[in-house]
Chains A and B, each alone.
Chain A
Amino acid sequence: MKLKCIALAVSLLAAGASFAATDADVDNSFQPYKKGFPTVAGLSAGTTINKSNVEQFKDAFDPGLYEMVKDGWVDINVAASTDFPQPKAYIEATRKNLGKVKLGANNGDLEGYAAGRPFPEEPDLKDPRAGEKLAWNFKYGANYGDSGAIYPFYWRYRNAATGQIERTIKFEFHFLNLMHRVEQAPIPEITPNPSKIYRGTYAKVYEPAELKNTQLLIQRFDDDQKLDDAYLYLGFQRRVRRLATGQTTDAFLGSDMMIEDFEGYNGRVSDMKWAYKGVKNILVPFFNHNEQMHLTDEYKESDGYKFVDFHGRGNCMPNVTYQLRKAYVLEATPVNPNHPMSKKVMYLDSQTMYPGRVVIYDRKGALWKNFTIGKSHPDHHLPGNKGSNVSLDDSFSQVDMQAMHCTTGQFKTHIDAKLNPPGLFQVQNMRGGD
C-alpha cells in the first residue's frame, strides 16, 4: 500500500512536471540540433556500413537494423544529418498551449490538450509516465500535417529469401485530422463532429484486380479510451463491413503489416503500456527525396516523379541514405495478452516525433519484424509539398525476420487539403462508390 502511494505521488509529480515546460523546451523539442548534429566516431557522410564494419558503428544502430546489417541483409549508406523543421503553426500551437496539458489518472487519459505537441519537454527517465507522454506526442504529431494523401502508393509482398515479388498492390491513402487542426481551415476543428473523431484514415485499392476497390476507413476518436471504428469495403461484395477490433492486429490484406503498424503505431495510447527507455542517436532513413541516387521509374508518372527503390536481401530495404539522428526509445507493451506481439520498440525521432525505425518482438520475445520508415524533407520532393514543413513518408519496409518475408511501400505523398475533403472519411463515401 505504501509503495502504491509513493508510486502515485511520483506519478502525479511527473504529470505535474509537464506544467513546467517552457518556451525553451519548445525550442529544444523542435530544434534539437541547434547546437549541432550528433556524431559517432568514424562515421561521416559517405560512409557505407556493411557486415564487415558494422561492429565499429554498433552504437549508431537500433538492435533490429544492427542485426540486419550484421547478417548481410543490407548495406547502409550514410549521408549528412539534416534539419526537418516542423510546421510553424504546429509549433506555435505548442507554444500557445504550453503547460495546459496533463496526463489523466489512467493510461489513455489526457486533459487540457488543444493543439500542437502535448509534452514538448525533454522526457525524463525518472518520470514513470514519460513513455505515455511520448505516446501522446506521437498521437498528436504533425505527420501529414492537418491532412495528406498518398497516391499512388505501391505495396509489394516479397519473398526475402528469393527476392520474388509475390504481389503488388496499388493504393491510395488519405489522412485527415478533424480536431486539433493548426494550419488548414477550418481551425481548430471540422464541425459538427458529435462523435469527436480526431483523425480519419481512408485507403482504397486500385490493383490487383482481385482486391480492386477494396477500401478501408479508420476513425480514431479524441477520447483515447474509445475504440476506433473501422470499416472495410470489399469490392467483390460491394458492401461495407464493420471491422471487429481483432482485425487491426491482423496481417492487413495478407501483408506483413497490421493495421496497427501503419505509421509506426496506429492504435490507441491506452492499448499499450508505454515505457521510455532513454535517448539514442541512431541511423534512420531521413533524406531529401530528389537527391537520392537510386530512384526508380518503374511506375510511370506523368510528372516524372520517381519512387524510392529497394535493395538488399530480397530487395526488402529502401535504397536511400541514412542519417544520424536523436531518437527517444519508446517501448510499447500490449495491454491485450492475446496480442500477436510481446512488444514493439519505437525509435521516435526527437524532432518529428515519428519513428524512423520500429523493432517488433513476437510473443516469445524474439525479434519478429523490422519496420523502417523513410522520411523525405518536403522541400526536396514534389513541388506542391515545398514549404509545408511536413516530413514526408517516402518509403516503408516491414521485414518479417522469422518468415523471411517482407512488405515494402513506395510513396508519392501530397500535402494538399483539397485532396482530403471530410466526406471522404465518411462511411457513406465507400457505399456510394463503384
Chain B
Amino acid sequence: MYKQVTKREWRLKALAIALAAIGSGAAHADNLPALGDGDDPWRVDVIYENGTHYRGKDKTGHEVGLSKFRNTIQVELDKKLANDWGFHGVLRGTFDGVYRLNDDEFGKKAGSKSGADLQFQNTISKSGGMVTTVPWGGGLGANGGPWNQATAAFGYPGGNDLLNAIYAGNVIAGSPLPLPLPGAANTGFVNGNTYSAESGVGLRMLGDRWHGPDGGIQMAVPVRPCDTDRRGCRDFGGYGDKNLSELEAPEFNDRLDFIREAYVKKTFNLTDETNLFLKLGKQQVVWGRTDLFRVLDVINPVDYSRNNIYDELQDIRIPMWIAQTEFRFGSSELMQDRNLSIVWNFDKFRANNLGQCGTPNVMLDAGCFFRGMANLWDNGGTVANFAHLSDGAASLAELGMGIPNGSLPRDMWLATNFGPGQIGIRKVHLPEWSLANSQLGVKFEGVTQGGLNFSLNALTYRSQLPSLHAFNNAQNPFVASQTGGSSHLIAFDMYFPRVNLIGGSMDFQSETLGAAFRLEGALTKGEEFVNTARPKLYSSNKVWRSVIGVDRPTFIPFISESRTTLISAQLFYQHIFDHEEYRGPLGKYGMPDWQDNFIGTLLIKAFLMNDRVSPQLVTAYDFKAHAWVASPQVEWSLSDSLKLTFGANVKGKRDDAEDRWAFNDCRDCNPYAPYTQYDGQTGAGPLGLSGLEPLGRFRAGPIGSAWKENEIYFYLRYKF
C-alpha cells in the first residue's frame, strides 16, 4: 500500500537527514568512516553563521526594524573515493528568526489590520489637484456604505451613483434620460462588490515600500505567509507559495535544497595529452569572468530572496543536478590550453527566486506584483486610479444625473473594485520535467600563445525570469455574460520561455597599467519583455549584455605600504534589439525596460593587519534609473575560526528618478470598448498613461526599486 507523502512529511524527512548529517559531521569531523575503497578520511568542515540585518524607514515612513536574523549551519564534505573518484558535498540549513521576531512586518501579523488601513487613491481631477481616497473595497462597484463617496467631497455625485449613472442606466431621480451604454446588467463591476470585511486584513499597498501614491494605479497585496493567508500564493518556480516554516527554513523543502551540492568527479586520461573531466551531481556551474552581473553565469538560477543582489553568487546560486564533461586537450602548436566543456542541466526547472511578497527581500518588488496580481485574479480587489471618465462618459453621466454639461472633470480616474477572474495572474506554466525541457551548454575555453584567456559559450535554457502573457478570455467586468474577445487585457498567464545564448569572455593584463581586464558578452534570443504596445503585452527580443571590468591592485600609502588596495571597476551594458517605445497622447508606451542601459560598479577593498581586517566599499550606479547604492563593510577575522562582519547598505536616487521610472500601465489599453474607451481612442491599445505601478519596477531596476531598503548588518561566522 502506498502512503501519500505530504509536503510537511517531506520537510520533516529532509530536516531529519540534514540534522543527522550535521550531527555526524560535528561529532566525527576528523575521522569519519571511509566511503568506498578510498584510504583518505572524510574532510568535514562545519560552519555556523548568524546574519542580522536592521532596516530603517521605508517609503511609508514606518521603521521596518529587524529584517534578517538568519542562523546557518553549513557542512562541507570532501572525500577521495575509489578509482580516483572524488566527492564534494555542501549541506546547508538555515533558520531565519525574523518572521517571529518581527512578525508585524514579515510574519503572521504583517499588513493591514482592517480594510480601512488601506487607502486607494481617486484622482478626481488631475489638473485640479483633487484627490481623495477610499478604503479597501471602496472603489467603483462597491455597494452602498461610506466606501463609494470618492467624488462627494468635491460636490460631485458619489462613486457608486456615478458608476450607476454611467454604466447601468440607473439614473438618479428626475433625470430625463437613461444612459445608452449597452450591456451592463448589474449596478457595478461583476462580482466586484463582494469583498468580505476580513479580506482587508493582512494586505499592503503594492510598492508602498519604495514609492508613494502617484496618481497611478495601486493595488493591495497579501503579505502574510501562505499558511496564514493563501491569497495570491502560487508556485512561481520555487517560491511564492511558502508557509511560515518554509520561509524560516527554506532549504528543507521537497527539492531537498539543504543539499547545496553533492557531486562526484573524476579525470579520465584519454590520451597522453587529453583528459576527460567528469563532474556529476548537484552543483554550481560558473561561466564567465564578471562579478555581480550575470551575463554568462546563467546556468544555475539564483535565490535573490536571501539578500537581494548583495550576497556572493556562490551562496545564492541554486544548485541543480547537472552533468558536466570537460575535454581537456591541453596545448597545441598554436594554443597553450584548449578545453571543450559540455554542460547538461537535467534537473527539474527552477526559476530565480525573486522573493515571496511579505518577506524582507523581494527583488524588484516583483514577488509582490505577482502575488497581488494572482490575488486579483482569484479574489478580485480594489485598484486605485483605474476607471476613467472619458468625455463621452462624463457627458452621459452629467446628462443622467441632471447636472450641467461640463460639471464633471474630464481627467478623473477612480478607484475601482474588480471581481475574481477579471484581471490578474491566472496560471503559472512551469516547464515540465522532461528531456525536451532540459538545458544544454557548450563552452570552449582556451589560452592563446600570447596569453589571452578566452571562452566561447553557447547555451540553450529556460528563462529563469517569468514572462507574463496576456490572454483574452477573461470575464468582462462590465458585462456578466461576456468573456473573451479582448486584447491588451491585464490578465496574464506566466511562462518561462526558452532562451538561446551565445557569448564569450576574455581576460588579459596590462603591464603598463598594472591592471587586469575582463570582458564578457552574450547575445540571447528568446527573452521576453513587457510590451504594452503588443496585444498580448509582451514581446520577444534579442538582448546583448556585456561587461568590461578592470582590477587594479594599488598601493595607497595611507592605507598600507606593503599591501595593495584592490580597486575593481565594472561597466555593464545592456541593449535590447527591436526595442519598442512609442509616444502616445498621454505619454510613452511600449517596453518599460530601457533600450540601452549602463550600470557601473566600483569596489575598493583594503587589507589590514595581515588581511585579518578588511574594509571595503562597494558602490553601484544605474545610469538610466538614476539610482545608486553604497555598501561600506568591515570584515574582522578574530581567529581562523571566528569572523565578524559589520556593514551597511545605503541606497538613493536622484530627484528626477521617479519621473523616469513611471511608465504606461495599460489602464488606457481599452480592452473592453466602449466601457474602457478613452476620448479619441479607436480600438485596443495604450495611449501612454503612466504611473510607477506596475511597470516602474523594471525601469527602477533592483537598486531603484529597493532604494528605501537601507540596512545595517552584522555577521558572525564560526568554524567548528
In the complex, B371 has a CB within 8 A of chain A = no
**Chain B min CB distance to A122 (Å):** 35
- Inter-chain CA distance A300–B286, complex, in Å, is 35
Chain A positions within 8 Å of B609 at CB level:
254
Chain A positions within 8 Å of B597 at CB level:
none
In the complex, A88 has a CB within 8 A of chain B = no
In the complex, A241 has a CB within 8 A of chain B = yes
- Inter-chain CA distance A166–B313, complex, in Å, is 29
Interface string of A234-273 (1 = CB under 8 A from B): 0011111111111100110111100000000000000000
Q: Which chain B residues in 507-552 approach chain A with CB under 8 Å?
A: 507-511, 514-518, 551-552
In the complex, B65 has a CB within 8 A of chain A = no
Interface residues on B, range: 35 or more
In the complex, A30 has a CB within 8 A of chain B = no
Q: Is the CB of B336 within 8 A of A166?
A: no
Q: Is the CB of A244 within 8 A of B516?
A: yes
Q: When the two chains form the complex, which single residue of A238, A244, A256, A423 contacts B552, counting CB atoms closer than 8 Å?
A: A244
In the complex, A195 has a CB within 8 A of chain B = yes
Q: Is the CB of B637 within 8 A of A167?
A: yes
Instruction: List the one stretch of B240-248, B443-451, B679-687 in contact with chain A.
Output: B443-451
Interface string of B376-413 (1 = CB under 8 A from A): 00000000000000000000000000000000000000
**Chain B min CB distance to A42 (Å):** 39
Main secondary structure of the interface of B (DSSP, over half): strand
In the complex, A194 has a CB within 8 A of chain B = yes
Known: A237-B291, A427-B453. A254 touches B610 (CB 8 A): yes
Q: Is the CB of A239 within 8 A of B286?
A: yes
Q: When the two chains form the complex, which single residue of B330, B447, B553, B719 contacts A422, counting CB atoms closer than 8 Å?
A: B330
**Chain A min CB distance to B637 (Å):** 7
Q: Is the CB of B314 within 8 A of A236?
A: yes
- Inter-chain CA distance A156–B15, complex, in Å, is 38
Q: Which chain B residues in 236-279 approach chain A with CB under 8 Å?
A: 265, 267, 275, 277, 279
Q: When the two chains form the complex, which single residue of B445, B554, B639 contacts A431, counting CB atoms closer than 8 Å?
A: B445
In the complex, A208 has a CB within 8 A of chain B = yes
Interface contacts (Cβ under 8 Å), in number, total 151
Chain B positions within 8 Å of A243 at CB level:
509, 516
Q: Is the CB of A246 within 8 A of B291?
A: no
Interface string of B434-473 (1 = CB under 8 A from A): 0000000000010101110100000000000000000000
Interface centre among A168, A244, A363, A432 (most CB of B within 10 A): A244
**Chain A min CB distance to B633 (Å):** 14
Q: Is the CB of A246 within 8 A of B555?
A: yes
Q: Is the CB of A227 within 8 A of B511?
A: yes
In the complex, B607 has a CB within 8 A of chain A = yes
In the complex, A106 has a CB within 8 A of chain B = no
Q: Which chain B residues in 555-573 approach chain A with CB under 8 Å?
A: 555, 561-564
Q: When the two chains form the complex, which single residue of A208, A254, A338, A432 contacts B640, counting CB atoms closer than 8 Å?
A: A208
In the complex, A298 has a CB within 8 A of chain B = no
In the complex, B493 has a CB within 8 A of chain A = no
Interface string of B77-104 (1 = CB under 8 A from A): 0100000000010000000000000000
Q: Is the CB of A242 within 8 A of B279?
A: no
Identity of the chain B residue whose Cβ is nearest the Cβ of A251 in the assembled complex:
B563
Q: Is the CB of A237 within 8 A of B314?
A: yes
Known: A157-B610, A427-B447. A197 touches B516 (CB 8 A): no
Q: Is the CB of B555 within 8 A of A338?
A: yes
Identity of the chain A residue whose Cβ is nearest the Cβ of B339 in the assembled complex:
A428
**Chain A min CB distance to B442 (Å):** 15
Q: Is the CB of B453 within 8 A of A242?
A: yes
Q: Is the CB of B610 within 8 A of A251?
A: yes
Chain A positions within 8 Å of B552 at CB level:
244, 246
- Inter-chain CA distance A244–B512, complex, in Å, is 10
Q: Is the CB of A194 within 8 A of B640?
A: no
In the complex, B641 has a CB within 8 A of chain A = yes
- Inter-chain CA distance A431–B447, complex, in Å, is 13
Q: Which chain B residues in 661-720 approach chain A with CB under 8 Å?
A: 717, 719
Q: Is the CB of B328 within 8 A of A423?
A: yes
Chain A positions within 8 Å of B610 at CB level:
157, 166-167, 251, 254-256, 405
Q: When the two chains form the complex, which single residue of A166, A191, A253, A423 contacts B275, counting CB atoms closer than 8 Å?
A: A423
Q: When the two chains form the complex, which single residue of B328, B514, B611 contacts A246, counting CB atoms closer than 8 Å?
A: B514
Interface string of A105-140 (1 = CB under 8 A from B): 000000000000000000000000000000000000
- Inter-chain CA distance A210–B715, complex, in Å, is 14
Q: Is the CB of A432 within 8 A of B514?
A: no
In the complex, B612 has a CB within 8 A of chain A = yes
**Chain B min CB distance to A336 (Å):** 9
Chain A positions within 8 Å of B279 at CB level:
432
- Inter-chain CA distance A316–B148, complex, in Å, is 82
Known: A168-B640, A192-B332, A244-B553. A239 touches B289 (CB 8 A): yes
Q: Is the CB of A432 within 8 A of B553?
A: no
Chain A positions within 8 Å of B509 at CB level:
227, 229, 242-245
**Chain B min CB distance to A197 (Å):** 7
Q: Is the CB of A241 within 8 A of B516?
A: yes
- Inter-chain CA distance A400–B562, complex, in Å, is 11
Interface string of A139-159 (1 = CB under 8 A from B): 000000000000000000100
On A, residues with C-beta under 8 Å from B are 157, 166-168, 191-195, 197, 206-210, 212, 227, 229, 236-247, 250-251, 253-256, 338, 340, 363, 400, 405, 422-423, 426-428, 431-432, 434
17 pairs, CB–CB < 8 Å, chain A vs chain B: A167-B639, A197-B336, A208-B640, A208-B641, A209-B45, A229-B509, A238-B286, A246-B552, A246-B554, A250-B563, A251-B611, A255-B610, A340-B555, A363-B561, A405-B610, A423-B275, A432-B328
4 smallest beta-carbon distances between A and B, as pairs = A254-B611, A208-B640, A242-B516, A254-B610
